[in-house]
């Protein structure tokens, strides 16, 4: 495996910004990569760490280049790390002593982890030109850890770069955001995901197209869907939403006209598989979304292979009620990610859905 900027899909602007930092020899002490999961933030952080420390013949970075150098000589360098020098190989294998990744311990990044990092940064790098600390999922820091990191950002150590990644800035302290150079990563296009699924994963075009639409701009999610029995799971969920086997219209498959007792029974079946619960809700949400979208932009639906059922449902179901259901599901997903009580969360969601019944 060789991490390069060229391999990061659909992120020309972030790569261009990082390339400018390298070429101008003027790198901020703290960078913040934001964007949804699975768009290349972590890969970009590792590629940047490699580029900062690459010793390949075609990558002649001078020592201590993170400092403002007095030399005004113009120069340029290949941006991609070589991937084969000793430094690059160590970073790729995860064994470089000066490239530190701080990951959540359980659900959170804790203050002890940040303090240990601060102690390490107080010393000179062991062998790297620049020590790089990468904090994926920086939004997982608890309040104590965030405050400890803030102190480090206020007095940044020499020869060190901090790279934080987060889904959105609202998950971080404003004072942390203000001390970082923010770089926004965009969702990956459906076309690019589809190409990757066909070329790298060997999927048939039809299935690749369906997965790319469901991935919501995330390559990580696309690969996860591709490695799972997602289509069969989706079909099971949509059939379970239809209490009348003789009704193939898709109308009841939108959770309309289903008694609350049956909705709660359906919720019980969903939460039995805790690992797949979030994905199950995503499937239901995508189905309801398609019914709304079909009225206005039918080419943008996700479940393209079920277009006949979607078309029928969109003609017979009240859009306002659908939006209430989608909002209920999104609220439940946020609560699940916040480790709320699973049973209570799902039951409350179904009660909200039950109150949003309605046909045109």
Helices 342-355 and 319-337 pack at an angle, to 10 degrees, of: 170
Enclosing domain of residue 119: 5-184
Residue 90 in domain: yes
**19 plus 168 within the same structural domain:** yes
Burial class (CB in 10 A: 0-12, 13-18, 19+), 108: middle
Global pTM reads 0.81
Regarding whether 85 and 140 lie in a shared domain, the answer is: yes
Sequence-distant (6+) residues with CB within 8 A of 86 are: 55
Q: Assess contact for 130 and 52: CB atoms under 8 A.
A: yes
**74 or 337, which is more confident?**
337
Classify residue 253 by its DSSP letter.
G
**Among 184, 214, 248, where does a domain finish?**
184
For residue 32, give the H/E element and its range.
strand 30-34
Chain segment 258-303, per-residue pLDDT in tens = 777 888 888 888 888 777 888 889 999 999 999 999 989 998 999 9
User: What are the contacts of 65-68 at 24+ separation with CB within 8 A?
Assistant: 65/25, 65/27, 65/129, 65/130, 66/25, 66/27, 66/29, 66/129, 66/130, 66/159, 66/161, 67/158, 68/26
- Is 320 within the bounds of a domain? yes
Task: Report residue 7 as tokens.
Answer: 């391999």
Q: Are residues 40 and 146 part of one domain? A: yes
Q: For residue 216, is it within any domain?
A: no
* CATH number of residue 123's parent domain: 3.40.50.300
CA 287 to chain centre: 21
Q: Same domain, yes or no, for 54 and 165?
A: yes
Whether 91 and 159 map to the same domain: the answer is: yes
Within a domain: 274 = yes
Instruction: Go through 35-57 and write b for each residue having 16 or more CB atoms within 10 A of its CB, e for each that does not.
Output: bbbbbbbbbbbbbbbbbbbbebe
Number of domains in the chain: 2
CA distance 219 to 7: 12
Q: Is 94 helix (H, G, I), strand (E, B) or coil?
A: coil
Which of 149-153, 183-187, 254-258, 353-357 is predicted with the least confidence, judged by mean pLDDT?
254-258
In eight-state DSSP terms, residue 41 is H
Both 245 and 328 in one domain: the answer is yes
Let me know whether 134 and 240 are in one domain.
Answer: no
280 in the same domain as 177: no
Residues 68 and 158 in one domain: yes
What CATH number does residue 279 fall under? 1.20.272.10
Residue count (the chain) = 360
Are 244 and 349 in the same domain? yes
Residue 161 tokens, joined: 């770069």
Asked if residue 300 is part of any domain, the answer here is yes
Q: Decide which of 155, 184, 213 is a domain's last residue.
A: 184
Query: Of all residues in the chain, what percent carry a pLDDT higher than 70?
Result: 88
Same domain, 168 and 238: no
* Residues 246 and 331 both lie in one domain: yes
Over the chain, what is the mean pLDDT? 85
Report if residue 198 sits inside a domain: no
Out of 132, 149, 184, a domain closes at: 184
Q: What span, in angstroms and rounded, lies between the C-alpha atoms of 42 and 271?
A: 31
SS3 of residue 164 by DSSP: strand
Residue 262 maps to a domain: yes
Q: What are the tokens at 24?
A: 């101008």
Query: Contact 193/224 with Cβ under 8 angstroms?
Result: no
Q: Cβ–Cβ contacts within 10 Å for residue 94, how many?
A: 9
Residue 159 in any domain: the answer is: yes
Alpha carbon 76 to its chain centroid, in Å, reads 32
Q: How far apart are CA 327 and CA 145, in angstroms?
A: 32
pLDDT tens for each residue of 325-357:
999 999 999 898 877 888 899 889 988 887 765
């Amino acid at each position: 495996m060789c991490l390069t900027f060229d391999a990061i899909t659909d992120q020309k602007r972030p790569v261009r910004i990082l390339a400018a930092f390298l070429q101008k020899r003027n790198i901020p002490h703290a960078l913040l990569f934001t964007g949804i999961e699975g768009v290349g933030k972590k890969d970009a952080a590792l590629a940047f760490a490699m580029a900062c420390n690459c010793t390949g013949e075609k990558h002649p970075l001078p020592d201590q280049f993170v400092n403002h150098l007095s030399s005004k000589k113009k120069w340029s360098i290949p941006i991609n790390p070589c991937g084969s020098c000793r430094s690059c190989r160590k970073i790729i294998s995860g064994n470089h002593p000066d490239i530190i990744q701080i990951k959540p311990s359980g659900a959170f990044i804790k203050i002890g982890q940040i303090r240990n990092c601060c102690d390490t940064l107080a010393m000179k790098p062991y062998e790297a030109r620049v020590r790089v600390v990468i904090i994926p999922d920086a939004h997982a820091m608890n309040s104590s850890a965030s405050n400890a990191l803030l102190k480090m950002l206020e007095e940044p150590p020499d020869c060190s770069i901090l790279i934080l990644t987060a889904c959105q800035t609202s998950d971080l302290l404003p004072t942390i955001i203000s001390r970082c150079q923010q770089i926004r990563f965009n969702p990956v296009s459906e076309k690019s995901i589809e190409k990757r699924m066909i070329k790298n994963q060997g999927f048939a075009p039809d299935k690749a197209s369906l997965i790319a639409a469901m991935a919501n701009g995330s390559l990580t999610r696309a690969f996860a869907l591709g490695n799972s029995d997602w289509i069969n799971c989706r079909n099971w969920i949509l059939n379970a939403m239809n209490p009348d086997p003789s009704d193939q219209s898709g109308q009841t498959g939108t959770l309309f006209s289903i008694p609350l007792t049956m909705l709660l029974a359906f919720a019980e079946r969903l939460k039995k598989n805790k690992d797949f619960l979030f994905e199950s809700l995503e499937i239901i949400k995508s189905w309801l979304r398609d019914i709304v979208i079909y009225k206005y932009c039918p080419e943008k639906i996700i479940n393209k292979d079920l277009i006949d059922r979607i078309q029928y449902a969109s003609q017979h179901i009240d859009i306002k009620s659908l939006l209430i259901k989608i909002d209920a599901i999104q609220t439940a997903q946020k609560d699940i990610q916040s480790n709320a009580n699973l049973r209570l969360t799902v039951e409350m969601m179904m009660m909200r859905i039950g109150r949003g019944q309605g046909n045109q």
